Amino acid sequence: MQTGRVVITGAGSGLGRELALRYARAGWRVAVADIDATRAGAVSAEVRALGADAAPFAVDVGDDTSVQALRDAVRAHFGGVDHVVNNAGVASAGDVVDTALADWRWMLEINLLGVVRGCRAFVPDLVAQGRGHVVNIASFAGLAGAPGLASYSVAKAGVVALSESLRAEMALHRTGVGVSVVCPAFFQTNLLQNFRGPETARAMAGRLMQRSADSAAGVAARIYDAVAAGRFLVLPTAQEPLRWRLKRWLPEFYFRKLIATIAAQRPAA
């Protein structure tokens, strides 16, 4: 993959930070965007320590004006971008009828519309220059159909559908812009820092993260390689390619296994 300029939201920690470092090791100039300006500055320093150019930017992907301001600031500093990684997000759990409408709105505003804002802000510039790539970070929750993750799953499924539509639009108009959507399952990261939902769900998610053999650095490396290869659907955690095939080819078998697995993980009443 040729090097260039990349902007990554949610780059102040977790997967976003590891993506920033992975791009930096490949020689990219990195716009480190995060809601926490201090974290963005710290990761920018890490990127520069690797010998790559970096600049920190504060952004709230849940706010139209903030995302537009990020675009303008990145344009001014780097002269534009070549890759856009819409990574920033929050976590939640809860059943459909038990999740408060306020939490539904919070989740959709950040995890779905935050990606929409990123695409609307940066894709016109990519199209104008005739090249580039959009990387939307979704989740295997957006494909799995699992219980107890209603608002999170809906938002991430929306990111998958958004990415499919954007990919088709870019191809139809022969823009030269590629699209990837990334659907990891649980891995070792700090996603639960801004979690909303039952404490039992938080505890179960924490256990699954701890048990995972996948690290944030490993997931970031697989994402980088998949984008370089031009892949659209990226399943960067170890067990998800098989699970996705089972759901596509044997949907009823997959459903029975899903329910049995989730039931076994829940504490006894």
| Secondary structure (DSSP) of 35-102 | SSHHHHHHHHHHHHHTT--EEEEE--TT-HHHHHHHHHHHHHHHSS-SEEEE-----B-B-TTTS-HH
Owner of token pair 């490949």: 26
At 189 the three-state DSSP class reads coil
Q: What is the DSSP string of 190-216?
A: -GGGG-BS-HHHHHHHHHHHHH-S-BH
Q: Which of 234, 224, 228, 217 shows the shortest CA–CA distance to 18?
A: 217
What separation in angstroms does the CA of 33 have from each of 46, 56, 184, 203, 232? 14, 6, 21, 29, 24
Stretch (H or E) spanning 136: strand 132-137
**Spatial distance between the Cα atoms of 88 and 112, rounded to a whole number of angstroms:** 10
Asked if 152 is an active-site residue, the reply is yes
For 241, the token pair is 């390619």
3-state SS class at 148 = coil
β-pair partners for 34: 58
Only one residue has tokens 């107890």, namely: 148
Rounded Cα distance, 88 and 104, in Å: 17
Q: Which of 23, 152, 224, 254 is catalytic?
A: 152
CA gap 220, 64 in Å, rounded: 27
Q: Which residues are identified as catalytic?
A: 152
